Structure 1
Amino acid sequence: MRTSPPNSPHIRGNWRRLGSAATATAALLLAGLGTAAHASAATTPHKATAKTIAAQVAKAHVEYAKLGCAATPKKGYAACNALRVTAGTTAFMEKQAALKGVTPKTISPKAASDDPTGYGPSDIQSAYGLASAASAGGSGETVAIVDAYDDPNAASDLATYRSYYGLSACTTANGCFKKVSQTGSTTSLPTADSGWAGEESLDVDMVSAACPNCNILLVEAKSASDANLGTAVNEAVKLGAKFVSNSYGGSESSSDTSYDTSYYKHPGVAITASAGDEAYGAEYPAGSQYVTSVGGTKLSTSSNSRGWTESVWKTSSTEGTGSGCSAYDAKPSWQTDTGCTKRMISDVSAVADPATGVSVYDTYGADGTGWGTYGGTSASSPIIASVYALAGTPGSSDYPAKYPYAKAGTSALNDVTSGNNGSCSTSYFCTAGSGYDGPTGWGTPEGVSAFTG
């Protein structure tokens, strides 16, 4: 759901950012949070009734309107689709409670936590076999984050996140962090926006979590239109980034193939795009044949040899990872599933369920309350971009989306075989199974070898 500006020749639906927080009081309360039992602790399940969820969602729409983030956004701007967990328990809280032998606490709506309540860098690195690569790799590589509008507190919030988790400083002064406009200016930045600030914090924090030695380039488009976000992608590549994450998207259009060549066709650059947060259905730019489309999972600790288990993220019929067969984009030569004659979404996946969400630090605007737990494929896209960075610079003529396909079915990827994100006539479009499926692609990273050419 996005649209080009009024003077654009292409009239479309509205772009929206995927999976960030609009406001602490505008959260979508998730059913069944914290229901997993731990053998090492006497835990009490916490569930939300359908009535409670409906009331919370209704309240969220009221809060969005107050912030100028209406449920139906104005033309050319993204909706504030918050997926922040502000009630119930998270998987991280359950894990900590199990270790201590106590009952997990419940997050109180409206209240920010003094400490993280979601997964942090060590969890992300453990879950995806990245600890060794994250410790030794990534130096000199730049992961670019493309978002709309300015987050004035991006640098200071990033510093707090990294300090808390014991990561090295990543600042403008030491050359690790840089924030620019879509034209590359460091001084003439877009208008600040509290809704997108949470998105930007999520994105840069996930790069820090997965690739702490990587440099971070935050490119802020002046609005959430096709042209401006695409121009920001081009600027990121112009400034030298070989890894670019995009946590936004919307409905497909016949114009997508022209946007492909204008903004996303960058051989030698790993460009990732979130598959979407509205459950089954194809979105763009995840449907571009030139990007790695990234689906979302529910990530939980386990007693298995890996220590973790994953399933398709689906909260409801309208909230979960996107997937599907593109109506417009051509099928890349390296994608060989037979049920979809055009581009199939997704390629790979990573954690996205807010119930098993990641910790983010954000202090800007009405929704900037400090530590929060976030979800959505906005988390999975920058994680995968960072895994590419740990794997090394892509081949100069390569489209790195093809790399995981060369390691399909091997131990380099965790095959996600359970769950679905909706109903579909072709089963693998929306249902996980052994091997390739739409919601999770070929699976999640187990180390970096599936992300190198």
Structure 2
Amino acid sequence: ATSRDGATCSGHFGQRPATGFPKAYGKTSTYAPCPYTPTQLRHAYGAGTTHGATGHGSTVAIVDAYGSPDMPADADRYARATDDHAFGPHQYRQHVTPADWHVSDACAAPATWAGEQALDIDLAHGLAPEANILYVGADSCLDDDLMDAESYVIDGRRADVISNSWAKIVHSDPGHLTPALIDAWNLLFEQAAAEGIGVYFAAGDCGDSSPAAAETGVNCDLKTTQVQADFPSGSPWVTSVGGTTLALDRHGDYAWESSMGDELSILTDHDSAWGPVPGVFTFGGGGGASDFPQPWYQRGRVTGSTGQRRTPDVALEGDGALPVLIGLTDAGTFHLAGFGGTSAAAPAFAAIQADAQQASGHRLGFANPLLYALDRGRLFHDITDQPANAGAGPLTVVRDEGPDTDTSTGEQRYLLYTLGHDFGLHARPGYDDATGLGSPTRGYLGWFQRTGGTLK
């Protein structure tokens, strides 16, 4: 198969051997699957149309920084390119105030957030195609502005669920998340829970967020000073969404998932070998112990805890080596590109919760107490680093970065990823700090339809 950027990829996991490349761990790897579309994700997780759940009647708010002038036109163009559902009249709204943006003193330029905005909107709309989408762009990526954006949704009760694909670390040098600021964030999330609004946060892409992980992890904060769960994902009043590596079979059905953790190897010795093998940690899901006491909903259900709130709560596909497809305009040209991270998992799971609201007939609000009380064995995939039905030995893929890769700068077109190797986090049977309770099965939405979302 060939992806939309001309790169070689597999139609499903393991489908196309990467012949002509060196072996890794004594075997020939296969090309990574082509970037996943919302249609594939809906089918894998039973979302979108299963049980008639399309998110109808719900509003999913997305809080990011700034805002691209090309939305929602990009989202509609993306939907057409992937044979999916474009927005209906008035289905997309946004609250963006460019005149008030803080640019010179902010932590990132507005253009750098365009990919994140496209990712969040494409995934939220893709997995809940009939939900209303409200995009709220903060005036910068600083706490005060992000808090104002979050408050805009919560104070006005403008959405049923809020997806947030950004994260910070509590322990850093220099530090900025003071106890007073953390208390202010938690008070806002408590307000959301009291008003029946579910708040979802990406768990991060740097494993245990330790200094060792930050040495090579591409989405790590180099200012980290210790092992820690990201914030606000670690707040006891939000649902933390971790990442997985999803494999589909040749029929497009769910095959297995592993933890989201990639070790990278490159071609060495005149392209005659991969090195190093094992590779260098480059990308993973976030999780671990937070600074907060263990909340009531995790007691007795999260073992091995030291009395702290642990993350993530749930997980969904987000691997950078097996990315999802998004569409965005860059430098005046519309592109389809693969993006990964728990930034993809968070809006996707928030959308599934919108589907669950439609199936149950009422708002779910703060979801964690219900999630931890559900029958985990039937409603969540119990994910491990080495899935039993994935075959023996290390899981590897060769990813073709595409013909536009500039080898003259030292960048390689072909990369080898060893999967299921997050940094400091491990997916084991039961709850774990790599994938939480796991990912929703195809029976997840069916349970809400049968029970109205009420435990017997």
Q: TM-score, normalised by structure 2?
A: 0.68
Distance across 2 between alignment mates of 1:37 and 1:392:
32
Query: Which of 346, 370, 376 in structure 1 is aligned with 2:312?
Result: 346
The 5 Å alignment of 1:246-395 reads 246-252=164-170, 253-255=177-179, 256-263=182-189, 265-267=191-193, 268-281=196-209, 282-302=229-249, 307-316=254-263, 317-327=281-291, 329-336=292-299, 337-338=302-303, 339-365=305-331, 370-392=335-357
CA shift in 2, pair 1:158/1:37, >3 Å? closer
**Contact (CA 8 Å) 1:420, 1:432: kept in 2 or not?**
no
Distance across 2 between alignment mates of 1:269 and 1:131:
21
Q: Secondary structure at the match of 2:168?
A: strand
Identity of aligned residues (%): 29
What per-residue deviation string (whole Å, max 9, x for no partner) do you get for residues 418-441 of structure 1?
244223xxxxxx211111001100
CA shift in 2, pair 1:354/1:48, >3 Å? farther
Aligned partner letter, 2:285:
T
Distance across 2 between alignment mates of 1:436 and 1:241:
30
Aligned partner letter, 2:205:
D
What per-residue deviation string (whole Å, max 9, x for no partner) do you get for residues 116-141 of structure 1?
xx111221011112253485431121
Q: Point out where structure 2 has 5 or more consecutive residues left out of the alignment.
A: 25-29, 104-108, 171-176, 210-228, 264-280, 386-419
**Contact (CA 8 Å) 1:152, 1:364: kept in 2 or not?**
no
Aligned partner letter, 1:280:
D
- Structure 1 range deviating more: 245-254 or 141-150: 245-254
Query: Which of 128, 134, 155 in structure 2 is aligned with 1:211?
Result: 128
CA shift in 2, pair 1:48/1:232, >3 Å? farther
What per-residue deviation string (whole Å, max 9, x for no partner) do you get for residues 48-84 of structure 1?
99xxxxxxxxxxxxxxxxxxxxxxxxxxxxxxxxxxx
**Contact (CA 8 Å) 2:160, 2:363: kept in 1 or not?**
no
The 5 Å alignment of 1:50-89 reads none
What per-residue deviation string (whole Å, max 9, x for no partner) do you get for residues 218-273 of structure 1?
00000001121122112123252011000001102452233211356411111110
Distance across 2 between alignment mates of 1:318 and 1:189:
36
Partner of 2:33: 91
The 5 Å alignment of 1:156-235 reads 156-170=73-87, 174-181=89-96, 190=101, 193-235=110-152
**Contact (CA 8 Å) 2:357, 2:364: kept in 1 or not?**
no
Q: Secondary structure at the match of 1:127?
A: helix
**Contact (CA 8 Å) 2:66, 2:140: kept in 1 or not?**
yes
2:41 pairs with 1:44: no
**Contact (CA 8 Å) 1:346, 1:438: kept in 2 or not?**
yes
Distance across 1 between alignment mates of 2:243 and 2:54:
25
CA shift in 2, pair 1:217/1:343, >3 Å? same
- Structure 1 range deviating more: 352-361 or 395-404: 395-404
2:412 pairs with 1:412: no
| RMSD between aligned residues | 3.1
What per-residue deviation string (whole Å, max 9, x for no partner) do you get for residues 329-384 of structure 1?
23221012241312101000001112211100010448x65100000110000001
Partner of 1:403: 370
Aligned partner letter, 1:357:
P
Distance across 2 between alignment mates of 1:362 and 1:272:
23
What per-residue deviation string (whole Å, max 9, x for no partner) do you get for residues 254-302 of structure 1?
5223321135641111111000011223100100111110100111123
Partner of 1:109: none
**Contact (CA 8 Å) 2:169, 2:231: kept in 1 or not?**
yes
2:80 pairs with 1:154: no
Q: Point out where structure 1 has 5 or more consecutive residues left out of the alignment.
A: 1-23, 25-32, 50-87, 93-117, 424-429
**Contact (CA 8 Å) 2:230, 2:286: kept in 1 or not?**
yes
CA shift in 2, pair 1:247/1:37, >3 Å? closer
**Contact (CA 8 Å) 1:359, 1:374: kept in 2 or not?**
yes
Distance across 2 between alignment mates of 1:279 and 1:259:
23
CA shift in 2, pair 1:307/1:150, >3 Å? closer
Distance across 1 between alignment mates of 2:40 and 2:203:
23
**Contact (CA 8 Å) 2:243, 2:317: kept in 1 or not?**
yes
User: Does 1 or 2 have the higher relative contact order (CA < 8 Å, sep 6+)?
Assistant: 2
Distance across 1 between alignment mates of 2:23 and 2:125:
33
Distance across 2 between alignment mates of 1:398 and 1:239:
12
**Contact (CA 8 Å) 1:270, 1:401: kept in 2 or not?**
no
Q: Secondary structure at the match of 1:349?
A: strand
Partner of 2:422: 421
Q: TM-score, normalised by structure 1?
A: 0.69
Rg larger for: 2
Distance across 2 between alignment mates of 1:396 and 1:210:
18
Aligned partner letter, 2:162:
V
Distance across 1 between alignment mates of 2:349 and 2:121:
13
Aligned partner letter, 1:326:
S
CA shift in 2, pair 1:397/1:445, >3 Å? closer
Report which of the two has the higher share of strand.
Answer: 2
CA shift in 2, pair 1:229/1:305, >3 Å? closer
Distance across 2 between alignment mates of 1:48 and 1:205:
36
User: Shift of residue 412 of structure 1?
Assistant: 1.1
Distance across 2 between alignment mates of 1:167 and 1:380:
19
Q: Secondary structure at the match of 2:120?
A: helix
Partner of 1:55: none
Distance across 2 between alignment mates of 1:450 and 1:417:
24
